[in-house]
Every structure is written in structure tokens, then in C-alpha cells.
Amino acid sequence: MPTQIFEDHAAELHWLAYLFTGSHDRGVWAFTKALDFEDYANPAMTDFMSSWSRKLVIGASLETIRPQLRESAWRTMRAEDPDPATLVALEPAGQMTTPELERALLAIDLFPRCALLLTVFEKLPLDDAALLLNADKALVRKARNQALLELTGAVAGGRGPRRARRATFRLHLRCVEMPI
């Protein structure tokens, strides 16, 4: 049954691994590593596993990029803090296609991208994201905010994060099914 869960959501889970790792090869490796989990035989685990599959892919993805994640976290620590007033002004509107979203996300430095994926897309609390990223909450919050500004700048026509700080852009992310 758990294998069926992975089969039913293979494209989505592989895409999730790809967005975390930034590499198709590492994404495939992380996805297949998540399939190696051993406690799938217990029927009581079926419902739990349908949501847990994403967490397995996330964990395996983060493990494949741990050294690069540390380097990116260091760059994030040294970067300027985003202006909180700009972040408050972000409002939903418009739409992005899956390829546009993918390009915009992959253009963001690794640590901020992972912080954004965990806290915004996966809706994890900062504490959980910090644990997964081996970082403190303040750094994860800063990284998420940087990524939000970069993503918003990309939505606004690729004007970048510096331009995004000077204006209010509207952002709406639409989940799109990915073909296998």
C-alpha cells in the first residue's frame, strides 16, 4: 500500500525533491531513498504514510544537499535582513505556471529556498523547519523572508529582490499537477 502512495504521487514527490535539491539526479536519488523506508507493512500506517511520504522525501532531499545547505546558510547569515514592512505589504494576486514557479524557486539561493519551501509551501512551523535545516529560528525566518522577496520580485517580472523592496507586488501561487 505505501508503494501505491508513492506511485500515485510520484511526479509530485519527485518535483518536491527536485525543488529542494535543485538537481534532477539528486531528486531521483532522494525520492528512491524515501522508498526504502522499512515499516510499510503495518496497515495502521497507511493514512499516516500518505502525509509522511512528503516528509520522507524532504528529509532525504535535505540530506543530499547538506554541505551546500551549510554554505548557503552562511551566505544568508551575512546578507542584509529584509525590510519587514515590505513583507507585510505582499498580497495574493495573479498566477504563475508550474515552469515559471520552478524557475523562480530554483533561482533562489539554496538555504532561503528550502526555508521557503518548508515554512510556506509545506506549512511547517519555524521550529520544525529550523530542526530540519540545522539552524536557529531567526536564521530560518530571515531566509524565508529573503526568499519571499526574491520570489515576489520574480513574479513582478524578474526585477529581483532589490527592486522588490521598493514596491508592493502581488503574489499568488497555484498548485499544478505535474505529468509523470
Query: Does pTM surpass 0.85?
Result: no
In whole angstroms, how far apart are CA 5 and each of 10, 34, 125? 8, 12, 25
In whole angstroms, how far apart are CA 70 and each of 109, 123, 134, 155, 166? 12, 22, 9, 27, 30
pLDDT tens digits in sequence order for the chain, 180 residues long: 456 666 777 888 888 889 999 998 998 888 887 776 555 555 555 556 666 778 888 999 999 999 999 999 999 999 988 776 666 555 544 677 888 889 989 999 999 999 999 999 999 999 999 999 999 999 999 999 999 888 887 666 544 443 333 333 334 343 333 332
C-alpha cell at 73: 546558510
